[in-house]
Structure 1
Amino acid sequence: MVLTSSQICSMLFREVGNGFYKCTTCDKQYKKGNGYTNLLIHLRCNHDNYEQEAEEASRRQNPLRLHLVSKRTRDLYGWIEWVVCDRLPFAFVERRLTRLNTTLSLVSEDTLSKYIGLIFELLELRVARELPAAFGLVINGWTSSNRHYVVVFAVFDSDSTGITGGGVGTDYFDDLECSSRRFLLLAFSPLEVEEDLGVQSQYDLIADTLSRYNKPWSAVKLLVGDNCSVNQYIGRKEGAIPFI
């Protein structure tokens, strides 16, 4: 396990107050300042084996070698969960009353936005990795407060869902409750031009979604849609995509 700078310093220094930290090896004291630069400079100049010492200290504190999540990471997750699940603006984390009444460590709007973006990128990579070479698309639309959204799901059968009980025996039912069927949310987006609810805008959204996951139209083997004009347009444009 590779230790971060903060983990190394937490293992090899002890806080003594007023922003000063004492090296647990030589007892010299240094002011931490912004970040861990001062502490790391001391380690690099005076303790050649400081990384090994930090790893040994880590093993002593965590003999089972469990993956420990820092309080800062847990707090960031708490902020993200709060804002996303309650559909709050990012600026919520900087409101005075919010900070006054929470036990989570403080976070800025920019930091929250940064980590939500990183999570989004990781999820995109995971979805792209899990998509098979061939799949179906399920398309649906929804209008709320004069804003139109389109949702795009990928649907495919998978033998690796980890759910037991499915199969091809007499108890197998080919419906939405099939334990081998998976749905992956690919997009839930407002149309780029909200005034244009035509077939071209919806077609462009589907095409952009496929390109984001590096999938060609030829990977789409069926499409479930609820808009007749969109279905016909895509069918004519792309050729022989079966519709349901």
Structure 2
Amino acid sequence: MIIPSRIIYQAWFKPDVADQRYHHCICGKVYQQDVTISGYSNLLQHLKAAHKGYEAITNVKGTLQPAITELLQLGKSASLNKGANWIVMKALPLSFCEDPHTRVTAHAKGPHARDHEEGVHYVGLVAVFPPTDANPAGRVLLAFSPLEDESDHGAQSLSNSLADTLSEFERPWSCVLFVVGDNCSVNQYLGDRGGIPFIGWASHRYNLAVQLFQEDYSDLVTKANKLMLKLSTVKGRACLDSVTGVHPKIKNETRWSSTMKMLKRWNDLIPALRQMSTKNAVKCGVDKLMLSATEAMELSKLVKDLTKLDSVTIALQDEELTMLQVRDRFDHTIAKYPITKKYLSANAAIINNAPFERALVKLQSGRKLTPVEREASARLLAPAVEETSLRVSLRRRSRSRRSSAAV
């Protein structure tokens, strides 16, 4: 019996959720084809080339036969059938089943979405130290787990978790020179009452600064987000596809860079939106969200500014970036965009221990510290043999030798 191409397609392919022009084969390959115009011919060519005998294992209901390995005449063993099915359907090498990791994993209960509860807050603690031969990276993950009492996410609970982790590794509080984290009040508690210098994430401060900069353009950003949401609907995508193949982007509330990407996409879509017919614009609800000439100029300027600001965001992700280099980038940003001074200045209110951070910058640049900065960074002094006691010891040895020689 000849199975229709549409049925074979249902068994072997799934359309992309976001873009129906793309089709995912069960082997992982993705193909672009508008099946409403050109049919399934190109997709079936893939099956003929990569999945020989595909017609024999395709049911008329648009599914694959569960016992596909019977075609291989591998016997009646259920485990053998399942193993062969796995290898064949995923195009794996036959030696895959001999791999020790495969054998262990096959008998283990795999992770499932139900096993991971939503709303669980995990705390990660990473120790950072000068690189050694044993650990060239200079860091190690100490803990990654929920707090002992998940109902209490207060500062003292976090402090207790850190203390418990240190005790497991037999390390006292005194071995912690400083703590780095985001600038939330819970983390700053360690610096305020724990007596440990706290350094807030530069990326977090920068994110807050750029969000403050964007507030002057809040109306434009809100309008852009509404437009993108409209264009992301089924009707909106259909209307947009009639004038361009570019898709909309939605803003992520937690990352300002997503706002930049959304505005860039909006800027790119302006020529296409102007080509959209009034009928389609009304149909998808974007007719009242079109830009005026003044707004288009404002958008273009904002995109340029955000692109410049984003270059600093990328630079802050460099693992080898120093506090001095961060300070230089922040000062440069303040000079161009004064409104960011609230979060980026060396004495910003959000900084938990400004003298300590200023001391680090000065130490890295070789500048002299003020008394306050010297006191704040005193714990960074490396333990060393006192020069005076060493000289006294050497003199005593010298005198002892001379006395012995005289005798």
User: What range is the shorter-chain TM-score in?
Assistant: 0.3 to 0.5
Q: Which has the higher contact order (CA 8 A, sep 6+)?
A: 1
TM-score normalised over the length of structure 2:
0.22
**TM-score, normalising length from structure 1?**
0.34
Max Rg structure: 2
Structure 1 or 2: more strand by fraction: 1
